């Protein structure tokens, strides 16, 4: 059977009893059969030759084409691996498998060049990654195809002969000297001419120039290796017919050292000799430095200036290790006579040309103790009392300054504590002013209340004017809430009291509030008997019965009776 021709089958099966004889019963069932795949089909390219076109400027890793070998199997039996087995472009191209589509992807492995080769031909082989052993002796599980890639020419920028250039130049090279050459050419078949220039962003100080025709690098300024050892610049090559096509290259210029600096003392020495020094005693060890860097390393030599070679006080001994020792030649130096000696020393180097310099060493004469420790180096110090060192004098001076400061502080405190009495004697009755650092509330604070009301009423001044505060805001007369006929006078008075108690604009002192009550007009117009000379029988006097109880209540409040 072949799964590739038919994958699914359906079979109907019948079962009969009684051995299948007449009168027996039967039943049927359906059986679905699916064939599983085996790797019995090799991959096959649908065509034997493939042709593709790509640009020579395609970068590394760029996909240029896809090919696919067909396999009738499914699943892992259809997985394919592609390889480039033969051809002149095996190093320029590579092929990988797309796991989703099983396509062979041809990619650029190395830069392409139309001028060197326009057509590349190679063979691609497709094989199954999994092979069934029972079919390997029957079927070849691989197939091959020829792939041809044609390159398209593009106008390219000039290419330098080297990826970078390194030049060496001595620091004493004269201006205008040629220190090196760079070369670039047009890679296209047209072979257009090229001109050269320096990227001035890399040569701001314009130390170098370049001849645009042949790429000769020229020194424009003198060099100093002690300032900088390397100079890094960028040179641009541009096609004359198409200025947009250009390419840069880095040029590294190493500045070689020459012996143009003399050696000198490695530091500033502060040298002294004790008055009680003995002959041959070490005074100072000196060393030298040089800004130059000779290839064999530094080697310095020390000696006294010939004019001072006969020196009765000191001598210079070269230690042959780039140091020298200054030794005494006698004893008993006297700082009263000579407080300091100068010793000129010549230092030589060993490079070509030999450089030398004269350094002067100043040696002070100092007073030392028995162990050689310096006590003082100035002759004026001996004018001070004997037995007092400089440290002792400084301590005494500090004590005097501290005592003076304490005296000034004590005097200031004493003056601060001394106060004049309020009354010097009993006969002195002059007014005394006592001040308090309390800040009052201002003018209103003294005028807000009349404290006379707190005194004995008998001692109160009768004619003292009342000093009330006039409110800042003008109070508007509150309109009296109209009362209905069934509201009695006590409720009215209580309401007015509550209104005054809750009023925040009332003056801040005891005051008298009067409440005038005037009822609504009566429907009887007048209760006076003076206006009723005769009784009207048709008149309704029911209002008398309504006001009777109220009159009684009013009479009781004011201590009267109904007649009142």
Write out pLDDT tens, residues 406-445: 888 888 887 766 555 544 454 554 555 555 565 655 555 5
Q: What is the mean pLDDT of the chain?
A: 80
Per-residue pLDDT tens digits for 179-219? 999 999 988 877 889 999 999 999 999 999 999 999 999 99
Round to whole Å and give the CA distance between 253 and 207.
Answer: 11
Q: Any idea which residue has 């034997």 for tokens?
A: 48
Nearest to 314 by CA among 345, 288, 289: 345
Q: How far apart are the first and last CA of the chain?
A: 141
The pLDDT value recorded for residue 451 is 54
The pLDDT value recorded for residue 91 is 84
Return the H-helix or E-strand segment holding 492.
helix 489-501
Whether the Cβ atoms of residue 97 and residue 105 lie closer than 8 Å to each other: yes
Q: In angstroms, what CA-CA distances link 183 with 196, 200, 220, 235, 300?
A: 9, 19, 20, 10, 45
Whether the Cβ atoms of residue 181 and residue 97 lie closer than 8 Å to each other: no
**Which two tokens mark 472?**
């800042």
Residue of higher predicted confidence among 342 and 509: 342
Nearest to 237 by CA among 209, 206, 197, 201: 197
pLDDT bracket for residue 137 (50, 70, 90): low
Round to whole Å and give the CA distance between 241 and 245.
Answer: 9
Round to whole Å and give the CA distance between 390 and 222.
Answer: 56
The pLDDT value recorded for residue 429 is 47
Nearest to 263 by CA among 292, 223, 304: 292
Per-residue pLDDT tens digits for 7-48? 899 999 999 998 888 888 999 999 999 998 888 888 999 999
Peptide bond into 353 cis (omega under 30): yes
> Where do the H-state alpha helices sit in 294-437?
390-417
Strands (E) in 1-48, as ranges, are 8-16, 26-34
Rounded to 5 degrees, φ, ψ at 468 are -85, 155
Per-residue pLDDT tens digits for 102-128? 999 999 999 888 888 889 999 999 998
Which residues make beta-bridge pairs with 93?
108
Does the predicted TM-score (pTM) go above 0.75?
no
Nearest to 363 by CA among 333, 394, 342, 385: 342
Per-residue pLDDT tens digits for 2-14? 888 898 999 999 9
Q: Any idea which residue has 């257009």 for tokens?
A: 192
């Amino acid at each position: 059977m072949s799964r590739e021709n038919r994958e699914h089958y359906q079979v109907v099966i019948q079962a009969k009893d009684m051995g299948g004889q007449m009168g027996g019963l039967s039943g049927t069932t359906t059986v679905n059969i699916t064939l599983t795949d085996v790797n019995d089909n090799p991959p096959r390219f649908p065509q034997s030759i493939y042709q593709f076109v790509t640009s020579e400027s395609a970068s590394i890793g760029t996909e240029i084409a896809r090919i696919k070998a067909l396999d009738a199997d499914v699943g892992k039996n259809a997985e394919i691996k592609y390889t480039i087995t033969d051809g002149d472009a095996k190093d320029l191209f590579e092929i990988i498998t797309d796991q989703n589509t099983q396509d062979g992807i041809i990619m650029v492995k190395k830069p392409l060049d139309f001028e060197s080769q326009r057509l590349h031909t190679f063979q691609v082989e497709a094989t199954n990654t999994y092979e069934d052993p029972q079919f390997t002796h029957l079927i070849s599980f691989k197939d091959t195809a020829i792939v041809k890639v044609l390159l398209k020419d593009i106008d390219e920028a000039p290419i330098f002969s080297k990826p970078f250039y390194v030049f060496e130049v001595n620091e004493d090279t004269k201006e205008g000297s040629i220190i090196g050459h760079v070369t670039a050419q047009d890679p296209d078949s047209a072979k257009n001419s090229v001109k050269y220039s320096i990227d001035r962003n890399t040569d701001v100080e314009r130390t170098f120039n370049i001849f645009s025709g042949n790429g000769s690098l020229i020194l424009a300024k003198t060099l100093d290796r002690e300032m900088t050892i390397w100079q890094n610049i960028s040179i641009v090559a541009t096609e004359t017919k198409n200025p947009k096509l250009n390419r840069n290259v880095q040029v590294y210029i190493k500045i070689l050292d020459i012996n143009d600096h003399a050696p000198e003392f490695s530091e500033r020495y502060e040298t002294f000799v004790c008055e009680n020094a003995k002959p041959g005693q070490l005074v100072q060890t000196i060393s030298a430095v040089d800004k130059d860097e000779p290839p064999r390393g530094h080697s310095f030599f020390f000696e006294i200036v010939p004019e001072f070679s006969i020196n009765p006080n000191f001598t210079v001994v070269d230690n042959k290790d780039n140091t020298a020792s200054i030794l005494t030649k006698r004893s008993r130096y006297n700082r009263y006579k000579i407080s300091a000696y100068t010793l000129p020393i010549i230092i030589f180097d060993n490079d070509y040309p030999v450089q030398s310099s004269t350094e002067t060493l100043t040696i002070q004469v100092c007073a030392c103790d028995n162990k050689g420790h310096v006590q003082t180096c100035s002759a004026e110090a001996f004018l001070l009392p004997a037995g007092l060192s400089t440290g002792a004098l400084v301590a005494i001076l500090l004590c005097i300054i501290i005592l003076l400061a304490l005296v000034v502080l004590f005097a200031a405190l004493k003056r601060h504590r001394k106060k004049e009495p309020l009354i010097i004697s009993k006969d002195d009755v002059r007014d005394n002013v006592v001040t308090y650092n309390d800040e009052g509330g201002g003018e209103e604070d003294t005028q807000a209340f009349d404290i006379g009301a707190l005194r004995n009423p008998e001692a109160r001044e009768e004619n003292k004017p009342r000093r009330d505060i006039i409110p800042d805001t003008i109070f508007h007369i509150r309109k009296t809430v109209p009362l209905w006929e069934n509201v009695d006078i006590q409720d009215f008075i209580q309401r007015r009291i509550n209104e005054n108690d809750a009023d925040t604009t009332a003056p801040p002192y005891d005051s008298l509030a009067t409440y005038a009550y005037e009822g609504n007009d009566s429907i009887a117009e007048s209760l006076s008997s003076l206006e009723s000379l005769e009784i009207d029988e048709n008149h309704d006097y029911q209002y008398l019965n309504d006001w009777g109880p109220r009159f009684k209540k009013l009479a009781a409040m004011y201590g009267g009776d109904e007649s009142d």
